[in-house]
Structure 1
Amino acid sequence: MQWASLAAVALLAQNAAAQNMLRFACSQLVVDRVDPLVNPGMRYTPHLHQIVGGNSFNITMDPANHDPAALSTCTSCNFKEDLSNYWTAVMFFKARNGTYKRVPQVGNGGPQGQLVNKGGLDVYYIPSGKVTAFKPGFRMLAGNAANTDPKKVSSGNICHRCWTSTNDNTFVGGAPCSGSDSVDIPTSTSCKMIRQTIIFPACWDGKNLDSPDHQSHVAYSGSGATGGGSCPSTHPVKLPQVMYELMWNVSSFMDKSIWPTDGSNPFMYSMNIGGPAAHGDYVFGWQGDSLQKAMDNNCNLNKDCPAAGLHAQTADQYNACTKAQQAPEQVDGWLAALPMGGESVRA
């Protein structure tokens, strides 16, 4: 049985490595309490986000007059042509004395090779058959920042994995959001890192670039990082499946003598909520038809793809693309309280 399980894991890894997909690193552009998708025009939004991608990111990003592909002058992501913005909540550790510290992040390894980033996250575009690239102005949200019930989360699309080594290039487990992966943030002291996965819907209604809840215009077709299955008639247009992976390095927080005495999970997201509230935001910003060409020409991983006109930047180049906070506050070191609530102002 053990050998059969190991063989299955190896097969999953090989299949993942063989599948053509874009898989690339994005370093942190900024860690900031702004959210132009859910709280446009607001500084000091209810919770903190880490943002990656094009440097035209701002507190409003009105889709009628803000095209990241046209306005950004650099991107913190691997491909020069990708000026999109991607963001998630931030993971914190709460110590016994009531102080908080932001959990550091590293790149991600695995069977497709190691990715290098300075904080931030890794992005995948996974095709399944013929797909239609996103259009300018497209945006969407995965997950629910207010949810506290793990049963209301599809564990095949949003999950966490315990990584028992600080070596991110050591492949652990099977496909994303499978096996022992959990909606909740793991609390085992054997975890040296925690990998967070957020998989977005891959079906679109073909009409609306956004919707009031930022979710109704798209739909899931199955679960897992497969590119998605057949789309429903309500959302007939097949999109590339977008997936975020984040590697939170928790190794320096595993001394239980500093954990809360009430037995609560010391790891939480910046909403002061655990894993069921994990979420990701996406604003499309690829130049021209470069993403469509990348999907049509089977561009792979984080490499140059001449057929689509994709140019891979060096880590030094995309790491250098940063932006000052638009809602200035301390987010690093030990904090007396989470950066959240109480200060929201309209620009």
Structure 2
Amino acid sequence: MKLLSAIALIASVQAGLRFPCSTLTIQRLDPVVQPGISPSAHVHHIVGGNAFNATMTGDVGARATCTTCQMSEDFSNYWTAHLYFKHPTNGSYHRVPVVPVQPLLGGSNGAQGGLTVYYTQFDLSRDNLAQQPIMAFKPGFRMTVGSPTATSRSHVGLNYQCLTGGSRGALQATIPDKPCSGGIFTSHHFPACWDGKNLDSADHQSHMYNTVDTDYFNNAPKCPSSHPIRVPQVTFETTWDTTKFNSLWPSGAPNPFVWSFEGSSYGTHADYMFGWKDDSLQRAMDKSECFYDGCGSIQKQAMSVANQCKIPDMVGEETDGWLDSLPGTMA
């Protein structure tokens, strides 16, 4: 997607939030899928509030005291598996650095690594907003999208793009099979229809419903009666700086980039845990004809302040540098 196309997308969306979150920590922790287990099965890249730990229940936003996100009232946590480079010759692994997603307008705003988060009212398109007002998530809400065990595309909103020059390239269901001069860009779009009852479900997905089908940017129909509540459409975007490994990728050799669980690239997945303070997210979702900042309804912080938010290493293992094997094994 070229920059001009991205700017056109803003105009079509018309309302919502888009903001950077710096990296909070990179550890083997997963309080949604493997609560209370430390370390979890594989390494995750985590951003957001400093209440993050192996076990998280209740109102996360009430417990956090800082956040790596630009929106100062957002103490939610967002995480994905981490990308690694597997050396084609000796089989060793190296963590791929994360760099800030280049905003659609302006510079990186001082973010350190991290990812960019969207909360939109239109499924990144036009939606039946007039018929379905957006309801913000409730304290304790969580969800996942995708699965590390997937061997085929499990959700249309899970995409890769090969960054070359000023272009993001075409959406792809799997990791690009050739070197990308600007890195690899990943998107994780979550469903936007909620059953209105359950803050979670056994598989962390059944309480949600996705109304978008073959083309993610098509119009989405109204939420079904089984999941009647339209919630904000959450999206993560991450830029993986694969460029420093391109010279180690022999011409014609298979793709050497793997997720921290190493399975199929269809296994890309993400987790979300709601943690906005009070009614701050609802205030932003009640606005219209405005993008990026919620029309001033919620407060921003300087990324220099956000970058100071950290949590300790709770696992105590090396996840970077050249490793003989990936940390942990997939459960």
Q: Do these two structures clear the TM 0.5 threshold for a shared fold by scoring above it?
A: yes
1:51 and 2:46 are equivalent in the alignment? yes
Do the aligned partners of residues 337 and 262 (structure 1) sit closer, same or farther apart at CA in structure 2, a change above 3 Å counting? Answer: farther
- d(CA) in 1 for partners of 2:219 and 2:208? 14
> Does the CA-based 8 Å contact 1:126-1:227 persist in structure 2?
no
Question: Which residue of 2 is the match for residue 319 of structure 1?
Answer: 307
TM-score by length of 2: 0.88
1:146 and 2:149 are equivalent in the alignment? yes
> Does the CA-based 8 Å contact 2:15-2:287 persist in structure 1?
no
> 1:263: Cα distance to partner?
3.5
Note the residue ranges of structure 1 that are not aligned, 5 or more in a row: 174-179
> 1:232: Cα distance to partner?
1.0
Question: Which residue of 1 is the match for residue 62 of structure 2?
Answer: 70
- d(CA) in 1 for partners of 2:11 and 2:184? 21
Q: Which amino acid aligns with 1:254?
A: N
Question: Which residue of 1 is the match for residue 168 of structure 2?
Answer: 172
Question: Which residue of 2 is the match for residue 291 of structure 1?
Answer: 281
Question: Which secondary structure does the structure 1 equivalent of 2:235 belong to?
Answer: strand
Note the residue ranges of structure 2 that are not aligned, 5 or more in a row: 123-128
Do the aligned partners of residues 190 and 264 (structure 1) sit closer, same or farther apart at CA in structure 2, a change above 3 Å counting? Answer: closer
> 1:190: Cα distance to partner?
4.1
Deviations 1:63-117 (A, max 9, x none): 2xx4221100000111110000111000000112221111111112253444442
Question: Which secondary structure does the structure 2 equivalent of 1:43 belong to?
Answer: coil
> 1:145: Cα distance to partner?
1.2
- d(CA) in 2 for partners of 1:277 and 1:336? 22
Consecutive aligned runs of 4 or more in structure 1 exceeding 4 Å deviation: 9-12, 225-228, 299-302
1:120 and 2:114 are equivalent in the alignment? yes
> Does the CA-based 8 Å contact 1:78-1:312 persist in structure 2?
yes
> 1:31: Cα distance to partner?
0.5
Question: Which secondary structure does the structure 1 equivalent of 2:85 belong to?
Answer: strand
> Does the CA-based 8 Å contact 1:126-1:226 persist in structure 2?
no
Do the aligned partners of residues 296 and 214 (structure 1) sit closer, same or farther apart at CA in structure 2, a change above 3 Å counting? Answer: same
| Structure 1 residue corresponding to 2:322, chosen from 323, 326, 334 | 334
> 1:305: Cα distance to partner?
4.3
Do the aligned partners of residues 284 and 190 (structure 1) sit closer, same or farther apart at CA in structure 2, a change above 3 Å counting? Answer: closer
Q: Which amino acid aligns with 1:131?
A: I
Question: Which secondary structure does the structure 2 equivalent of 1:69 belong to?
Answer: helix
Do the aligned partners of residues 110 and 286 (structure 1) sit closer, same or farther apart at CA in structure 2, a change above 3 Å counting? Answer: closer
The equivalences for 1:268-287 within 5 A come to 268-287=258-277
Q: CA RMSD in A?
A: 2.4
Q: Which amino acid aligns with 1:287?
A: K
| Structure 2 residue corresponding to 1:249, chosen from 218, 237, 241 | 241
Question: Which residue of 2 is the match for residue 194 of structure 1?
Answer: 184
Question: Which residue of 2 is the match for residue 137 of structure 1?
Answer: 140
| Structure 2 residue corresponding to 1:88, chosen from 80, 84, 91 | 80
TM-score by length of 1: 0.84
Question: Which secondary structure does the structure 1 equivalent of 2:281 belong to?
Answer: helix
Question: Which secondary structure does the structure 1 equivalent of 2:18 belong to?
Answer: strand
Q: Which amino acid aligns with 1:212?
A: A
Q: Which amino acid aligns with 1:298?
A: S
